[in-house]
Structure 1
Amino acid sequence: MKYKDLKVGVVGGSRGLGTWLVKFFSTHGFKAYSTSRTGKTDFKTNREMVEYCDIIVISVPISAMASVLEEVYPYIHGKILLEVCSVKKFVIDKYKSLKKDYPEVACEFHSIHPMFSQRIKKLKGQVVLFNYSDGSNFFIPHLTKLLLKEGAVLYDLDYIKHDKIMGVVQGLNHFNVFVSARALKNVGSSLGRIKYFSSPPYRIFLIFFSRYVLQDPRLYADIQMYNEFVLEVLKIFKEEVNNLYDIIEKKDRDGFINYVEETRSYFEENQEDTGISNHLIEQLGIFISKQQAEKDIKS
């Protein structure tokens, strides 16, 4: 059987990244199916789809991952199982536990993390992390070929290292955004007025505050609470907030300067990003000017 003759079933395929995955596999010639508790579903149960399909992809909320994996695992013998959760360690731990509980079940298992949302229109430049594999390696070469063909950037990253890095990339980033957005709300100034008087660099912050706050908070809650390494990072963040707050409260100008300068060496190797930021700021300024001109014409 040719690999594209294999039937793909996406658990959680009616929403979020699941919809993107169904479309991705369909576009590349696979017969793709999905199940969903809340939307369109091709099968009444996950078990029915697992027994019918050859490749099972689990794309459900983080909080549902362990229970869904436990539900489908007994019927996955001889099949390919792919999961795309944003947090890895607890999923891999669950898989290893099920493997011991069901020694008669043998499957090809892969854990990957697409670092993008279902809203993207093109894969070019988007990152996909490959975190863990077990069993045979039949499917991954084909999957990587499809992803590379569309311009995706692929990295191998051990699942423990993944969660530690995501504690920063996701945990710290999201925490910073939500706390800053909440502080902005509590300051009491109109967001419209703040936008009006903001320079393009600050507008970039506002853009991402809005992007995150206006999405489903359940995903971000699960990332914060299911990744066991997030709290370690947030404790450091909390300490640094207090450190800088104390410096400012004391009006210790030299202390502030030293605080920033001591951080500078860490970022020196990343100087190229200042050029990228200049480009982003310039382009955003042009976009805002055009947007304002269009409003003026309409009014």
Structure 2
Amino acid sequence: MPLASKPLLGIIGGAGRMGRWFKHRFEAEGYEVLVADKGTPFSNQDLARRCDVIFLSVPMSAFQEVVQEVGPLLSQDQGLIDFCSLKKVQNELMLKHCPQAEIVAAHPLFGPGEDSLRGRKVALWPSRGRRWFDWFREFLTTKGAEVVLVSPEEHDRIMAIVQVINHFMLLALGNLMDDSGLPLEKIKDLATPSFERQLEIVARFADQDPYL
């Protein structure tokens, strides 16, 4: 079945920071985007029944419940794409509870503080089907993103090094500065260029959603 020129998109958890970030980027390209979240007029099931592609931008603690709710409602013509920072278990849950729709495992390797997709990396894997995977990959690359094709299993092994160790180092730096009792502005006054870059990274890290 050929793709509609502008498929209707839905973001479950679209009121969160990452959900809003992608909503704005899709809308800037002329897509209509429906959002299901607390206080929105649409429910998760509304999106499952109406949208061509459903994005899951929910905390990992709520992921299984949401997939069990919407997965059985999706047809083979629809796509389900998640944004979780871990992939293996989440991918298995989507395949199990969503027997018909196409499945794409996605991990944006950046936070909602970025200005655009240009130069940013997104891990992708076509878990079932190619149509919506190809559509999303084209959207990302057209906006300047670098798509990294990686299986959920390999993704999680790599992220155990990249993300966990990186987060540990940033937390340690933040805690050391906090324990010093020195005002941040005083530290910045004597910061070298390389340390200033580290401070910028710590600030972006502190701004990210820890639950995705």
Q: State the TM-score, normalizing by the size of structure 2.
A: 0.88
The aligned counterpart of 1:146 is: 139
The aligned counterpart of 1:12 is: 13
- SS for the counterpart of 1:4 is coil
The aligned counterpart of 1:166 is: 159
Given residue 102 of structure 2, which amino acid in structure 1 is its aligned partner?
A: E
- SS for the counterpart of 2:111 is coil
The aligned counterpart of 2:109 is: 115
C-alpha distance in 2 between matches for 1:211 and 1:192: 17
Q: CA deviation at 1:159?
A: 0.9
CA contact (8 A) 1:132 1:159 kept: no
C-alpha distance in 2 between matches for 1:121 and 1:194: 27
- SS for the counterpart of 2:177 is helix
The aligned counterpart of 1:207 is: 200
Asked if 1:22 corresponds to 2:23, the answer is yes
- SS for the counterpart of 1:50 is helix
Rate the CA distance shift 1:118–1:197 in 2: closer, same or farther, 3 A: closer
C-alpha distance in 2 between matches for 1:147 and 1:57: 14
The aligned counterpart of 1:62 is: 60
Rate the CA distance shift 1:188–1:29 in 2: closer, same or farther, 3 A: closer
5+ residue gaps, structure 1, are 100-104, 224-299
Asked if 1:193 corresponds to 2:186, the answer is yes
Give the % identical residues.
26
CA contact (8 A) 2:113 2:204 kept: no
Given residue 21 of structure 1, which amino acid in structure 2 is its aligned partner?
A: F
Given residue 86 of structure 2, which amino acid in structure 1 is its aligned partner?
A: V
Rate the CA distance shift 1:191–1:75 in 2: closer, same or farther, 3 A: same
Q: State the TM-score, normalizing by the size of structure 1.
A: 0.64
The aligned counterpart of 1:76 is: 74
Rate the CA distance shift 1:15–1:186 in 2: closer, same or farther, 3 A: same
Given residue 82 of structure 2, which amino acid in structure 1 is its aligned partner?
A: E
- SS for the counterpart of 1:77 is coil
5+ residue gaps, structure 2, are none
C-alpha distance in 1 between matches for 2:179 and 2:69: 44
C-alpha distance in 1 between matches for 2:173 and 2:112: 25
- SS for the counterpart of 2:131 is coil
**Root mean square deviation, CA, Å:** 2.0
**CA-to-partner distance for each residue in 1:45-84, whole Å, 9 max, x for gaps?**
2112211112111111222222211121121123211111
- Please say which structure displays the higher CA radius of gyration: 1
CA contact (8 A) 1:129 1:157 kept: yes
Higher relative contact order (Cα pairs below 8 Å, separated by 6+ residues): 2
CA contact (8 A) 2:125 2:151 kept: yes
Q: CA deviation at 1:85?
A: 1.1
CA contact (8 A) 1:4 1:30 kept: no
Asked if 1:130 corresponds to 2:121, the answer is no
Instruction: Identify the structure with the greater strand proportion.
Output: 2
- SS for the counterpart of 1:139 is helix
C-alpha distance in 2 between matches for 1:192 and 1:29: 43
